[in-house]
Amino acid sequence: MTSKLEQLKRFTTIVADTGDVDAIASLQPIDATTNPSLLLKAAALPRYTGQLASARAGSQGDPAKACDLFAVAVGKEILELIPGRISTEVDARLSFDGQATFERALRLIDLYQSQGVGKERVLIKIAATWEGIGAAQRLEREGIQTNLTLLFSFTQAVACAQAGVFLISPFVGRIYDWYKQHEGKEYAPEEDPGVRSVKRIYDYYKAHAYGTVVMGASFRNSGQIEALAGCDRLTISPQLLASLESENGTLERRLRPGAGSEPLIDLDEKNFRWGLNEDAMATEKLAEGIRQFARDQEKLEALLGA
């Protein structure tokens, strides 16, 4: 019998959630995604010493540019190992500045193009704030496709679809963490609040023929992944990919188009902000995620400035 990972690949495009080139070479995903936390981990690996030095040398003393240069260097190396795309994240400290997010995204694309990598192989990752979604809409109109991250609520997902973004990354594990802490209990995969959130978004998108890709992210266990078999894409850590590759039980498709019945929603800024405000989990996890990525960005800047 084939492994669960191979069975999952029949229903879902697999994306590696890592900046570790060796892991990507071993697991052979279609796409890969990075973020400031993963880049900080990659920077500690001996194999990236040369990329760190090049980023410092090319930054003219600008630590933010050094981070972008390092992110692009890692992304370019990953792209040599995968047939698809790399997701590269805009500085989380710009999450509430749409114009600055737009401009930083353009710089990342320019840096990739200077390395011979076309924009068709890059997804720009942006936090799913109102400002971030607006910047993503502008980028999509310029032919630059985006990945909206730190997505915890149905409200964020509706706004992303309305804006015509290419892909969203709802964070299954972090939703699970919040409910586990606040409710004080474990959840079976089918009842997991993170799993249920992604399923609701998937069903809504398919029911209303939105082209935005749903890519579940931030998994805590393989049961969450198996419960979302059939989702457009899933971005999975090397540890969980290896776990799925080692298991040989039957894996069935769980998500299919045609299950949704929610009416179409039209969101403006006021209703977006209110809907997000009314979701305590999403409000807390979005703010926490932005802070975490911002702190790791600052640590990476300090490392590159050393």
Element (DSSP H or E) covering residue 233? strand 233-236
Per annotation, catalytic residue among 125, 180, 185, 199: 125
Q: What whole-number distance in Å separates Cα of residue 246 and Cα of residue 258?
A: 32
Q: Is 185 noted as a catalytic residue in this protein?
A: no
Helix (H, G, I), strand (E, B) or coil at 150: strand
Residues with Cβ within 8 Å of residue 78, at least 6 apart in sequence: 19, 21, 24, 32, 34, 86
Residues with Cβ within 8 Å of residue 106, at least 6 apart in sequence: 144
Element (DSSP H or E) covering residue 237? none
Q: What whole-number distance in Å separates Cα of residue 36 and Cα of residue 298?
A: 9
> Given phi > 0 = left and psi -120 to 50 = alpha, else beta, which region is 195?
alpha
Q: What whole-number distance in Å separates Cα of residue 91 and Cα of residue 126?
A: 8
Q: What whole-number distance in Å separates Cα of residue 33 and Cα of residue 274?
A: 30
Q: What whole-number distance in Å separates Cα of residue 118 and Cα of residue 60?
A: 24
Phi first, then psi: what are they for 253, rounded to 5°?
-70, 135
The answer to whether the beta carbons of residues 54 and 69 sit under 8 Å apart is yes
Tell me which residue of 92, 57, 91, 89 sits closest to 74, measured CA to CA: 89
Write out the catalytic residue numbers: 125
